[in-house]
Amino acid sequence: MDITAGMIIISTAGHDKGQLLLVTGADGRFVYLADGKERRLSAPKKKNLKHVRPTAEFLDPAAMTDKRLRTALRGLSRSIAEESE
């Protein structure tokens, strides 16, 4: 599966392991991720593709602010946790 801007991914390695993040861009082997808190949309984190797992969820990065992103990820985190139970 190709990872594109707008996808929600789960980090599988690093200090943010298990966290949901929004893909703001992709560049070869790397993706740029934001969560609206630790990593703002204005300064996304660069992460290796091997260290992320895509989900079926999408958000429009152009319509996002950091606050909206935090709220959306919090809601998605709850729904994903409920699905896994």
For 20-77, what is each residue's pLDDT tens digit?
Answer: 999 999 999 999 999 999 999 999 999 999 999 999 999 998 999 999 999 999 999 8
- What is the C-alpha to C-alpha distance for residues 34 and 42, in angstroms, rounded to an integer? 9
For the cut 70, the answer to whether the pLDDT of residue 1 exceeds it is no
Domain spans of the chain, in order of start = 7-84
For the cut 80, the answer to whether the pLDDT of residue 85 exceeds it is no
The pTM of this model reads: 0.91
CATH for 7-84 is 2.30.30.30
| 70-84: burial string, b at 16+ Cβ within 10 Å, e else | eebbeebeeeeeeee
């729904």: which residue's tokens? 79
